[in-house]
């Protein structure tokens, strides 16, 4: 059985420095009322998500595709994010 996990990015700001972006996100499959923080530098991510490493790696790859690598421009990152963006992780195998 497949399960889709939607990571809804709702806000972005610069993180520790211009090499990091800090996203605010919701993940309904984990806790629909909790706001998660993702600190992303292009090749790594510090987060408070309770997801397995392979799913975190997939999310990092999707973020790299959209936001690229550091250094980051906050205006460009906000433009890419727009009013919010969903990233879908697929867990499990499709039923045949």
pLDDT digits (tens, 9 = 90+) for 51-87: 999 999 999 999 999 999 999 999 999 999 999 999 9
User: Could you tell me if residue 43 is inside a domain?
Assistant: yes
If 0-12 CB within 10 Å is exposed, 13-18 middle and 19+ buried, where does residue 24 land? middle
Q: Structure pTM?
A: 0.89
How far from 35 is each of 18, 39, 40, 72, CA to CA, in Å? 23, 13, 16, 23
Which tokens in the block code for residue 71? 């250094």
pLDDT in tens, 2-52: 888 999 999 999 999 999 999 999 998 888 889 999 999 998 999 999 899
User: Could you tell me if residue 73 is inside a domain?
Assistant: yes
Q: What integer pLDDT is reported at residue 10 of this predicted model?
A: 97
User: Could you tell me if residue 67 is inside a domain?
Assistant: yes
Domain that holds residue 70: 3-91
Q: What integer pLDDT is reported at residue 1 of this predicted model?
A: 75
Q: What is the DSSP letter of 19?
A: T
Q: What integer pLDDT is reported at residue 95 of this predicted model?
A: 65
User: Could you tell me if residue 96 is inside a domain?
Assistant: no
- Could you give the number of structural domains in the chain? 1
The CA distance from 65 to 62, in Å, is: 5
The CA distance from 44 to 35, in Å, is: 20
Q: What integer pLDDT is reported at residue 18 of this predicted model?
A: 94
User: Could you tell me if residue 39 is inside a domain?
Assistant: yes
Q: What integer pLDDT is reported at residue 94 of this predicted model?
A: 64
């Amino acid at each position: 059985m497949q399960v889709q996990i939607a990571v809804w990015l709702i806000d972005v700001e610069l993180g520790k420095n211009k090499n990091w972006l800090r996203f605010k996100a919701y993940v309904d499959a984990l806790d629909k009322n909790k706001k998660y923080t993702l600190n992303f530098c292009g090749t790594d991510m510090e987060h408070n998500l309770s997801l397995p490493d392979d799913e975190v790696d997939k999310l990092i790859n999707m973020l790299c595709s959209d936001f690229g690598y550091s250094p980051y421009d906050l205006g460009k990152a906000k433009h890419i994010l727009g009013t919010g963006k969903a990233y879908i992780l697929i867990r499990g195998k499709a039923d045949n």
